[in-house]
Chain A
Amino acid sequence: MIAAMSTLGSRTERLPIGIAGVSQGQIDREVPASEPPPLAPNADLAVVGKPVPRVGGRAMVTGAARYTVDVRLPGMLIARVLRSPHPHARILSVDASAAERYPGVRAVHVVTALETRAAVRGVTGTPVTFPPALYVGASLAAVAAMTQSIADEAVRLLEVKYEVLPFVVDMDEARRPEAPSVFEGASQQAGAGRAASGSPQVGNVRGPSTTSFYGGPRGNVEQGFREADVIVEAEFRTQVQTHCCLEPHAVVADWRADGLTLYISTQDTAGVRKDVAAAFGLPREKVRVITEFMGGGFGSKLGVGDYVFFAVELSRKAGAPVSLIFDREEEQLTSGNRPGTWQRLRIGARRDGALTAVSLLSYGTAGIAAGAGVGNIAQAMYDCPNFEMAQYDVFMNAGPGCAMRAPGNVQGAFALEQSVDELAERLGVDPIALRDRIDPSAARREERRIGAARFGWSQRRLPVADAGPVKRGVGMAQSFWPGIVQTSASCEVRLQRDGLVEIRSSVQDIGTGIRTVLAQVVAEELGLRPEDVSVRIGDTDFPLGPSSGGSKTTGSITPAARKAAYRVRQALFLAVAPELGAHPEELVVGQGRIFLRANPANGIGFRQAAGRLNKDFISAVAERGDNYGGFRVTSPMSLAREDLGGVQFAEVSVDTETGIVRVARVVAVHDCGRPMNPLQIESQIQGGVLMGVSFALYEDRILDRQTGRMLNADLERYKLVGPREMPSIDVLLIENYQAISATDACGVAEPATIATAAAVANAVYNAVGVRMRNLPMTPASVLEVLGRVPRQELSVP
C-alpha cells in the first residue's frame, strides 16, 4: 500500500473551465497538494471522453452476465412473501403451523415489527403484536422452502385473521377531514427520505414543507406579484408512475457462522451493508454485499426494503442460503413509485420578462410514505427575487413511493415549464427568448441555441396551424438538477508485477456504465487502453463507493479512481526512473509505455515496467474529497458549484378525432460537466427521454376505489412506451468544464428525463391550442380537454 500523500497544504492549479468551443478558458483553483495535476480537455485525451464500448457488454449479449436472479448456491432455498389482500386491516392473529408442517418448508418468518425502508417516527397508540396492513401488498410474513411452488403453497397455508378497516386510495379523498386515517396516531409517519421531519400533521395531511437544500422562502412574494405586469396561474396533476425495472427486486442471503453474504440487486451496496449490519447487530465487516450485474433500479433499489430483512432472517433460521425474488405484481404494488401530485403554480413577470414572484402550493401522495413533493426546480432554475412554496404530503392506503429518477423535479418541471411557456405567449416573446432573459445558466443558454438550430425551432408556427384533424406542434422545456457528490466515495487501483491493473470499489454498475468509465479514467492515467484494465466493483470487500442515486456515481467515484491511479503511476515512475536515467518527474505515459517527455524514444513498456516492482503488487486507495473551490451548498449531499441540466425539444402530432398524441421526434441537448463516454451518455439520455414520453402519455397506476387494489399490476395493462411509440431521438452534448474535481465529471441520468413531459405538453399546446395540465395525456383526456367529449366526473363511493 502506498502511503497516502500528505493532504496538508495545497497548491494552485490552472484548470479548464467553460463550454468547449464557446467560452472555454482556464481558472486558477487552490487544490489539495495530494491531487493529481489537472486533466486536459477531452480533445487532448486518448481515452476519456471517447465512445469506448461498454465494459461488460459482451457478457450481456452472450447471457454470461450474472444478475442477482441468476445466483445459484448449493442448498439454496426459495422464499415467498405473504402480502395483504386488504388495503387497511388490523392483523389479529397469524397461524403459521400448517405452513410450517408443509413438506419442503424450511423456515417461516412472521412480521411482528415494522421493517420498512425508512425509520418510522413517533409511533403512538397501543402496542400491537402485528403491525397493521396499510395497503394491498403490504408484507405480513415470509416463507423459505425447497422450491418456488412449495413456498407459494406454504404462503397460502398461513392463516391470518384480519379486522378490515376503512381505507382511502384517492388523494383528494384522503385530504378530507372525514377521510379514514391511514395511521392510527396522527404523528406516525413513514418517511421516504426527502420530507422534513417534525412537520405538523392533520388527518392524513402532513406539512407544509417550505424549504429545500436551496433554502427557504425569499423576498416578498406579495410585493412581487404587485410589481408584475403579467401573472400566470394554473393547477397541474401528475399520476403515480412505477419504476418497472426489468430485473425485479431480488436478494440472496447466505447467513453463516462466520458472516453474512448478500447478493442483491441494489443501487447501494455500501448502504445495504450498513443497514443490514445494524438491523441484525452484526459488525459491518461480517456483512459482505455483492452486486455483479444489476437490471435497473431508477431509484427503487436505493435503501433496504423489508424483503431483504426477511431473506436474512429466513436464512438465519433455516441455516441455508435463501433467494427472494419479487414477481411482477409485487414489483408494481410494493417496490416503490413516483408519487402522484397536485400543484398550483403562480408566476408573475414584468413586461420585459423578468420574473417578479413565484408561488408554489403542492399536495402529493407517496401512499403510506412521505416525500411526495414537487422538487426544487420552481425555486432554483430561474432568477426570481421573490419565492415561496408550501408542499404537503398526503397519506393514503397505497404502496410507498420512493425516489424515482429525478424525484420531484419531473413533476415540478411539468408545471413550471408549461407556465413559462404560457408566460412567453402572454408576453408575446419566443419561449427561448424569455428563458434567455430569466435563466442564469450559461450551459442552458448554449443548449437552447444549438438545440434550436438542430431542431429547426425557427420553423415553429403559431398554435393550431394545421387545418386538418391531425395537428402538429413543437415545444421545448428545460431540466435542472443539482450536481450531487458523495465525498467519501473511495476506490483502489492495484498494479501487479505481471502488469495486471485492477480497479476495486464497492460502487455498483446499475446499467449506466460506470465500469466502462472507471476503466477509461484509469487507462488514461496509466497510458493504457480500457481493455487493459480489469474492473472489479459491486463488492463491499473493496473500498466503499457511492450509492447510485441522484446522478452522483460518475462525479463521485471517477475522481477517486483517477487519484488512486495517479499515485500508482507515481510509484511506478519511481521504480523505473533509475533504469531510464531520468528523474520521475521527467517521465510520462502513453500508448502502453513509460518514457521521457523530452525523449520519447527512451522508454519502457508498461508491463515490463511493472516487472521492475520489488513487490507482488502496488496499490493506492483514494477518496473523492471536496469539490475544488468548495460546494455551493453544504449538506449531507454536497452540491456542486455549477448546475446540471439540459434542454429538450419535442415535435408531436395530435389526432383531434381520436385524441391520440404521438411524439415524432425529440432533440435533447445536455451537459454533464466533462462528458466521459459520449456513447453511454447518449444511451442514457435516450432512455431518459423515453421514460419521459412514457410518463407523459402512457403510464398510470390505477387503484380501484372500491377494493383498494391496483388494477394494472403487470406490464400489459400498465403501459410502457414501446418500440412502436418511440420518437426519433437526437442527442447533443456540450462539454461544460467546471473545474471541480480530478475528472470534472457529473452524471446525467436524472436531467435526461426531467424536461420531456413538459416539452411534449408544450408541443401539444402548440398543436391544438389547449393545455394538457393533467398526466398522462391519454386519448380520453385529450378529447376531454378539446371539448370533444364531456368531462368525466368519477363517482366517489
Chain B
Amino acid sequence: MERSIKHSNDWGEEGVSRRSFLGGASAAAVGSAMCENAPFVGYAAAAESSNAPIIGPDAVPATLRINGVVQSLVVPLQMTLAEVLRGPLGLTGTKIACNRGACSACTVWLDGAPVASCMILAIDVGDRSITTIEGLADGERLHPMQAAFIEHDAMQCGFCTAGLVMSCAALVKGNPDPSPEDVKTAISGHLCRCGTYQNVIAATMAAAKVRKG
C-alpha cells in the first residue's frame, strides 16, 4: 500500500510567497501519455498539451509517486525533477553534475525506465512512478546491483555512482544476460571522471548472474 505525504510550502522557491495556484491539477494528466525518451519528455508534453488548461506562472500543486510513496507538494513550474528530488523532497542521492543531460549522474527511473532527471520538469512527470537510488534497496537488503558495485569496487568518489547503478539495474531488469557491449550501451551516456567504467561493467555482469541464478 502506498504511503502518502503532504509537504508544506516552507521550502525553497515558495519562500517568496508565490502561493496562488492556477488550474494546477492538470500536471498529472499532461505527463501520463508521454514518450519514454528521457531528454525530450518535457518538450513532448508541452507539444501535446495544447488542450490542457494553462498553468502558472506561479507554483502549482503536484502529486508525485516516488519510491512507492505519494508525495503532494507545490512545485514551481521551472523546477526540474532533479531539483525537486534534491530540494523539497530531500532525496539527495540523485546528483546533479552537468544539469543539461550530458553526464547522466541524475538518472532515475520513470515507470522503470532510466531518464535524466535534470532534463524533465517535475510538473511533467504526471502519474508515472519515480524510482530513485533511495528506493532501489529492499529495506536493509541491497539490490543485487548495489551489492555487485561494492564487491567490484565500481565506484571511487561515488558522485556518479547512483546514476550508474540506476542505469545498470534497469538494464538487467530487461536483459537478464547482458554482454559487455550491452552494458557499454546502457551506460554510454554516463560520465565518470574517476574512470570506473570497467568495474561497472564487471559488476553489472555479475549482478545479472545473481538475478538469473
Any A CB within 8 A of the CB of B212 = no
Of A25-33, A132-140, A240-248, A767-775, the segment with at least 4 beta carbons within 8 Å of chain B is A240-248
For residue B143, give the distance in angstroms from its CB to the closest CB of chain A: 8
For residue A531, give the distance in angstroms from its CB to the closest CB of chain B: 12
Interface residues of B toward A: which range?
35 or more
Residues 274 to 302 of chain A near chain B (Cβ within 8 Å): 293-296, 298
For residue A61, give the distance in angstroms from its CB to the closest CB of chain B: 4
Any A CB within 8 A of the CB of B188 = yes
Q: What is the bound-complex CA distance between A150 and B18, given in angstroms?
A: 13
Of A15-23, A394-402, A723-731, the segment with at least 4 beta carbons within 8 Å of chain B is A723-731
Any B CB within 8 A of the CB of A468 = no
Any B CB within 8 A of the CB of A185 = no
Contact (Cβ within 8 A) A294 B156: no
Any A CB within 8 A of the CB of B97 = yes
Nearest residue, chain B, Cβ from A328: B98
Contact (Cβ within 8 A) B98 A714: yes
Any A CB within 8 A of the CB of B194 = yes
Residues of B within 8 A of A70 (CB): 86, 92
Q: What is the bound-complex CA distance between A65 and B187, given in angstroms?
A: 22
Q: Which of B16, B134, B136, B137 contacts A103 (CB 8 A)?
A: B16
Residues of B within 8 A of A679 (CB): 153
Q: What is the bound-complex CA distance between A54 and B147, given in angstroms?
A: 12
Contact (Cβ within 8 A) A726 B190: no
For residue A226, give the distance in angstroms from its CB to the closest CB of chain B: 46
Residues 670 to 698 of chain A near chain B (Cβ within 8 Å): 679-680, 682-684, 686-691
Nearest residue, chain A, Cβ from B184: A723
Q: What is the bound-complex CA distance between A416 and B151, given in angstroms?
A: 39
Q: What is the bound-complex CA distance between A512 and B195, given in angstroms?
A: 12
Contact (Cβ within 8 A) B159 A67: yes
Q: Which of B94, B153, B157, B183 contacts A294 (CB 8 A)?
A: B157
Contact (Cβ within 8 A) A720 B16: no
Nearest residue, chain A, Cβ from B150: A57
Contact (Cβ within 8 A) A686 B12: no
Check A723/B156 contact, CB under 8 A, given A53-B151, A64-B93, A246-B193. no
Any A CB within 8 A of the CB of B155 = yes
Contact (Cβ within 8 A) A63 B134: yes
Of B28-36, B46-54, B121-129, B160-168, the segment with at least 4 beta carbons within 8 Å of chain A is B160-168
Residues of A within 8 A of B13 (CB): 147, 149
- Proximity bits, B146-185, A CB within 8 Å = 1, else 0: 1001110101111111100100000000000000000110
Nearest residue, chain A, Cβ from B137: A62
For residue B93, give the distance in angstroms from its CB to the closest CB of chain A: 2
Residues of B within 8 A of A683 (CB): 153, 156, 194-196, 199
Of B19-27, B100-108, B109-117, the segment with at least 4 beta carbons within 8 Å of chain A is B100-108
Contact (Cβ within 8 A) A720 B133: no
Contact (Cβ within 8 A) B102 A715: yes
Q: What is the bound-complex CA distance between A728 and B153, given in angstroms?
A: 16
Residues 652 to 673 of chain A near chain B (Cβ within 8 Å): none
Residues 601 to 648 of chain A near chain B (Cβ within 8 Å): none
Q: What is the bound-complex CA distance between A787 and B53, given in angstroms?
A: 62
Any A CB within 8 A of the CB of B99 = yes
Residues of B within 8 A of A797 (CB): none
Nearest residue, chain B, Cβ from A72: B90
Nearest residue, chain B, Cβ from A681: B153
Check A61/B198 contact, CB under 8 A, given A246-B160, A298-B193. no
Residues of A within 8 A of B197 (CB): 690, 722-723, 726
Contact (Cβ within 8 A) A65 B158: yes
Check A723/B93 contact, CB under 8 A, given A511-B156, A683-B156, A716-B100. no
For residue B203, give the distance in angstroms from its CB to the closest CB of chain A: 10
Residues of A within 8 A of B190 (CB): 722-723
Contact (Cβ within 8 A) A63 B153: no
Q: Which of A62, A147, A684 contacts B12 (CB 8 A)?
A: A147
Residues of B within 8 A of A53 (CB): 150-151, 153
Any A CB within 8 A of the CB of B37 = no
Any A CB within 8 A of the CB of B38 = no
Q: Which of B86, B99, B196 contacts A686 (CB 8 A)?
A: B196
Q: Which of A56, A57, A65, A511 contacts B194 (CB 8 A)?
A: A511
Any B CB within 8 A of the CB of A69 = yes
Q: What is the bound-complex CA distance between A722 and B164, given in angstroms?
A: 13
Contact (Cβ within 8 A) A246 B95: yes
Contact (Cβ within 8 A) A69 B95: yes
Q: What is the bound-complex CA distance between A731 and B105, given in angstroms?
A: 27
Q: Which of A63, A103, A728 contacts B93 (CB 8 A)?
A: A63
Any A CB within 8 A of the CB of B78 = yes
Q: What is the bound-complex CA distance between A147 and B78, given in angstroms?
A: 13
Check A686/B198 contact, CB under 8 A, given A104-B16, A246-B157. yes
Q: What is the bound-complex CA distance between A385 and B213, given in angstroms?
A: 63
Q: Which of B15, B184, B193 contacts A147 (CB 8 A)?
A: B15
Q: Which of B94, B98, B105, B198 contacts A728 (CB 8 A)?
A: B198
Contact (Cβ within 8 A) A726 B198: yes
Any B CB within 8 A of the CB of A58 = yes
Any B CB within 8 A of the CB of A373 = no
Nearest residue, chain B, Cβ from A752: B195
Q: What is the bound-complex CA distance between A723 and B102, given in angstroms?
A: 14
Q: Which of A61, A687, A714 contacts B100 (CB 8 A)?
A: A714
Contact (Cβ within 8 A) A328 B97: yes
Nearest residue, chain B, Cβ from A53: B150
Any A CB within 8 A of the CB of B132 = yes
Any B CB within 8 A of the CB of A146 = yes
Any A CB within 8 A of the CB of B74 = no
Interface-centre pick from B76, B132, B196 (highest chain A CB count, 10 A): B196
For residue A54, give the distance in angstroms from its CB to the closest CB of chain B: 6
Q: What is the bound-complex CA distance between A61 and B136, given in angstroms?
A: 9
Contact (Cβ within 8 A) B99 A296: no
Check A61/B16 contact, CB under 8 A, given A246-B192, A328-B100. no
Any A CB within 8 A of the CB of B91 = yes
Any B CB within 8 A of the CB of A172 = no
Interface-centre pick from B13, B156, B197 (highest chain A CB count, 10 A): B156
Contact (Cβ within 8 A) B193 A58: no
Any B CB within 8 A of the CB of A583 = no
Check A511/B150 contact, CB under 8 A, given A690-B197, A722-B191. no
Q: Which of A54, A60, A247, A294 contacts B97 (CB 8 A)?
A: A247
For residue B163, give the distance in angstroms from its CB to the closest CB of chain A: 9
Q: What is the bound-complex CA distance between A689 and B196, given in angstroms?
A: 11
Interface-centre pick from B91, B133, B161, B188 (highest chain A CB count, 10 A): B161
Any B CB within 8 A of the CB of A317 = no
Interface-centre pick from A67, A245, A295 (highest chain B CB count, 10 A): A295
Q: What is the bound-complex CA distance between A638 and B150, given in angstroms?
A: 35
Residues of B within 8 A of A65 (CB): 93, 158
Residues of A within 8 A of B146 (CB): 58, 61-62
Any B CB within 8 A of the CB of A475 = no
Contact (Cβ within 8 A) A246 B191: yes
Any B CB within 8 A of the CB of A777 = no
Q: What is the bound-complex CA distance between A62 and B162, given in angstroms?
A: 7
Residues of A within 8 A of B153 (CB): 53-54, 57, 679-680, 682-683
The chain B residues found within 8 Å of chain A, CB to CB, are 12-13, 15-16, 76, 78, 86, 90-100, 102-103, 105, 132-134, 136-137, 142, 146, 149-151, 153, 155-162, 165, 183-184, 187-188, 190-201
- Apart from A680-B153, A690-B195, A722-B191, what 9 extra A-B contacts exist at CB < 8 Å? A53-B153, A64-B93, A67-B92, A296-B156, A684-B194, A722-B190, A723-B201, A726-B184, A729-B198
26 contacts between A and B (CB under 8 A): A53-B150, A57-B155, A58-B150, A60-B149, A61-B150, A61-B161, A62-B93, A64-B93, A69-B95, A70-B92, A72-B92, A146-B15, A146-B16, A149-B13, A150-B16, A246-B191, A296-B159, A328-B100, A510-B157, A511-B156, A684-B156, A686-B195, A687-B156, A715-B102, A720-B191, A723-B187
Closest 8 CB pairs of A and B: A63-B93, A511-B157, A687-B195, A295-B159, A60-B158, A690-B195, A63-B133, A70-B92
